Structure 1
């Protein structure tokens, strides 16, 4: 399955534009980290793009999230590592995150939400105005609705600093959504 085919499958299943936009943001971040770790950019990108393909179908039942996604994408001609990565993102399933790809998806998924939250707090909601400092200041908050700060803290498993993790994630989002509102 190529990226365009995956995107079409995603659009069939996601009706909410913010969820679709989040999937695109996570795809961009995963690709950036694949380059950083000299890994397969296409595979990492597909994992990011498809990680929430089931989110509308499993809304209200978080225990099914990611398992249903895996069931959906098992029907695609797709690398098994993507299926595993998507399964491992949900703590309910206690699937070990073994590879860097699994660990990046787990931590960066919520960091993209936090960066969007930071953009939404700005007068023009402009992503290009978000700075690493703004993001770091908000990581210490534990009461931001829908953002699991504990997931973000797993950046430590990637052998990089928190600042590097934030900068890579923010840069990927800004490159792909420059001068746009998140």
Structure 2
């Protein structure tokens, strides 16, 4: 089984855009956080987060499908490939998130992007002083981080049986725990 470092190297191999790599690292950190809370394998979950957008920069028209092919070639098992595919359910795949790992990835992907955008507009440029209230205010502002699909975030929270506030708090916590690695310290 490939390691977290192998996954990060693979992500960097297929993505030249530092923002896409950073997004993968942030989603990976959130996934590890949720896995630890659930008593699951944090490294497996983190790998799924790291690689969820593996093919997005080089193969946008084949998003997820090309990543699945690459991941299989590199020795990733079907549980990890399926989880990666599930994050784009209803967008470019028909793989519905069913397992806790899949539902978590679906829920945190878009929201981590919003949280990152919130950090970038803070005077401190840090997640250390970011609160749920600030993120919720920006969530309601449709023009802010307009690429973030709010419906996916809400559906993800529902899948996890969490309120939006709870989900936001956990995503902040997951990124805050690895603020330096995530580029949000």
The reply to whether TM is greater than 0.5 is yes
| Number of residue pairs aligned between Structure 1 and Structure 2 | 179
Determine the structure 2 residue equivalent to 1:88.
Answer: 86
Q: Structure 1-normalised TM-score?
A: 0.91
Mapped contact 2:27–2:112 kept (Cα < 8 A):
yes
What is the alpha-carbon distance in structure 1 between the residues aligned to residue 97 and residue 184 of structure 2?
32
Q: Which runs of 4+ in 1 moved over 3 A?
A: 178-182
Mapped contact 1:127–1:180 kept (Cα < 8 A):
no
Determine the structure 2 residue equivalent to 1:121.
Answer: 121
Cα 1:53–1:161 shift into 2, 3 Å: same
Mapped contact 1:119–1:129 kept (Cα < 8 A):
no
What is the alpha-carbon distance in structure 2 between the residues aligned to residue 113 and residue 180 of structure 1?
12
Identify unmatched segments of 5+ residues in structure 2: none
Determine the structure 1 residue equivalent to 2:35.
Answer: 34
What is the alpha-carbon distance in structure 1 between the residues aligned to residue 28 and residue 122 of structure 2?
24
Pairwise CA distance, 1:181 = 4.1
Mapped contact 2:52–2:84 kept (Cα < 8 A):
yes
Identify unmatched segments of 5+ residues in structure 1: none
Q: Structure 2-normalised TM-score?
A: 0.89
Determine the structure 2 residue equivalent to 1:78.
Answer: 76
Mapped contact 2:22–2:183 kept (Cα < 8 A):
no
Query: Which of residues 172, 175, 179 is equivalent to 2:174?
Result: 172
Q: Alpha carbon RMSD of aligned pairs, Å?
A: 1.7
